[in-house]
Amino acid sequence: METPRTEFYLILLFLFYHLPCVPSQKQPTVYCETPFQCGNITVGFPFSGEQRSPSCGHPFLKLSCNKSSNTTSINLSGYNYTVLHIDMKKESLTLRLSRQDFTGPFCSASFSSSPLPQDLLQNLPSYKSLTVFYTCDTRRHFLGNFTCRMNNLVSVVQDSRYNKLCDKRFSVTVPASYVPEEEALNITRLESVLREGFEAKLNMEEIPCPECLSTGENCGFIVTGMGCCKYVSGSIECRDSNNDTGSYSMNRFILITIGTVAGSVVIAFLVMILVFLLCERRKKKALRKQNLEALVTSRLYSYRQIKKITKSFSEVVGRGGFGTVYKGKLRDGSKVAVKVLKDSMSSSEDFINEVASISQTSHVNIVSLLGFCYEGSKRAIVYEFVENGSLDQSMNLDVSTLYGIALGVAKGIEYLHYGCRTRIVHFDIKPQNVLLDHNLRPKVSDFGLAKLCQNQESILSSLDTRGTIGYIAPELFSRMYGSVSYKSDVYSYGMLLLEMIGANKERVGKSDSNKSSVYFPDWIYKDLESGDITMLLEGELNQEEEDIAKKMIIVGLWCIQLCPSDRPTMNEVIEMMEGSLDTLKAPPKPLLHMSMQNISESSQLSGESSIYSEV
């Protein structure tokens, strides 16, 4: 495993750069008796800033002066305020503040609440909070609404009125007399009120200035709270106002030293944790790649080789929900299909599923894996190239040919369920995932949603809804129909059969597959009962072709039974497909009027529209 030397050196550099140091005892020659002066603001304790040392005031009450505009500002809880006035004459010290981003147009302000530090400042009773709602439902009417770029804004007092109609909200402080109950708001008036600011009183204990002044000292702040400060030998020394021993400079040095050591220990501990996590991450990444290489016997390609094989991804032959399929050529001239997974995929689970599943297969009706690429977020799978594209582009073939394709698909699924070391459930059987070679031999592809079942288990747990609308088994979107199992593939195969023979063209042709309220047509059963299936098919058929079509429809109806236990296994499906029509009976007619819209809300849609679907 490669040692993360670069990261380690960067962390050490960060540590030394940010290591706290003991400051020099020498301070600028400033005195606590010197007031802060800026424009119309002249204040002393408990404020600091400019001419006043930080130890001469509360650490959160540091003022700044803009020399060009003669305006005073203060930062509270991460927000900058303009100090319009400070009243030092009242019993409770009062500040009039205005958020600086509210001095301009309201729409250019930061749409976020800025609560004051409650232990330090408190709004006067004459002021209240006004809730501003934005990103609201444009189809509704709101009081005092106005538009900022793409967001509708609404200002109200009662939060509950628009909580469900608007996505976002924040609060501003305004005079209590301004907050309306029923009347509409006006943005110009709101901007004016916000520029005028609001008043807040200072929450502080009794200022110990008389005690400090009696000893020739000034009010200030120390680590433990308020204290008395004086200028001694070029530096400001402070002591606890309740401590009569005099200077506390030695205690200050001890506290700073303790803080420095403690801070260094904490930072060193955090660095050790970070280095450990980086090492563990690299170990897991290397182990995952090693396991993947051990799992498959196919060739591992680099991403540069993948680009060369596909001629820099020049020819697209298919697109899907998991990635794009490109046509490529190996050194020996053989054609391949390369599926490149999307970079936005946050997990490699689908990639591992597909490689692990297909690497265990070797069947004439399963697409062959030739190699794969696994370089961080860059992942690709190399398959054999199948000349005739996907089945959805070949539905107009004659009935006998379609029957042969359907039987081959059944044998491929049967192999996945029973022929592998571990059972593989595909979960996405559909025409787009059945590829046809030059002999029109079907090959099941796209194992991105597949799940490996250890010990040939039949029941799958904790499985998310997966698949394509129209082919998803009912138990995948509602457990009321039964447990999810390999019988879900049987259902999808049944829908594939009916799609191939044309029995559901009425449903597909006359309704949107995502919005139809009719899940399956009742008239198929009526035609079967009457013995006339010519309405289901296109063109003239001889008796043999009609028997084949009827057999495929009956098998398809058995496969799409609502209850998984009522569906046949793929072994039984093959027996029915290869057996005589006389031995087949139509299954009981289920109640299949279900809302496709409800299914689509809980299902994973895929919209392939190419001659070569993603493999």
AA identity, residue 334: S
CB atoms within 10 A of CB 568: 18
Answer whether the bond into residue 175 is a cis peptide, omega within 30°.
no
* Cα(329)–Cα(551) distance, integer angstroms: 41
Catalytic residue among 101, 428, 446, 489: 428
Stretch (H or E) spanning 167:
strand 166-175
User: Which residue bears the tokens 């433990």?
Assistant: 224
Contact between 281 and 251 under an 8 Å Cβ cutoff? The reply is no
User: Which residue bears the tokens 């304790």?
Assistant: 45
Residues 6+ apart with CB under 8 A from 62: 47, 48, 49, 54, 74, 75
Strand 127-136 relative to strand 151-156, pairing: antiparallel
Instruction: Tell me whether residue 428 is one of the annotated catalytic residues.
Output: yes
- Torsion, Cα of 313, 314, 316, 319 (10° steps): 40
Residues 6+ apart with CB under 8 A from 583: none
User: Which residue bears the tokens 């009321």?
Assistant: 480
- Tokens at residue 213, please? 């002044």
Phi and psi of 194, rounded to 5°? -65, -35
* Cα(373)–Cα(336) distance, integer angstroms: 14
User: Could you give the count of Cα atoms lying within 13 Å of 391 in the half-sphere of its Cβ?
Assistant: 26
- Tokens at residue 210, please? 């008389």
AA identity, residue 383: Y
**Residue 339 region by backbone torsions, left for phi larger than 0, else alpha for psi between -120 and 50, else beta:** beta
User: Which residue bears the tokens 């063209």?
Assistant: 505
What end-to-end distance do the CA atoms of the chain give, in Å? 34
- Tokens at residue 87, please? 């009243």
* Cα(261)–Cα(111) distance, integer angstroms: 40
Rounded to the nearest 5 degrees, what angle is found at the Cα of 274, between the Cα atoms of 268 and 277?
Answer: 145
Q: Which residues are catalytic?
A: 428
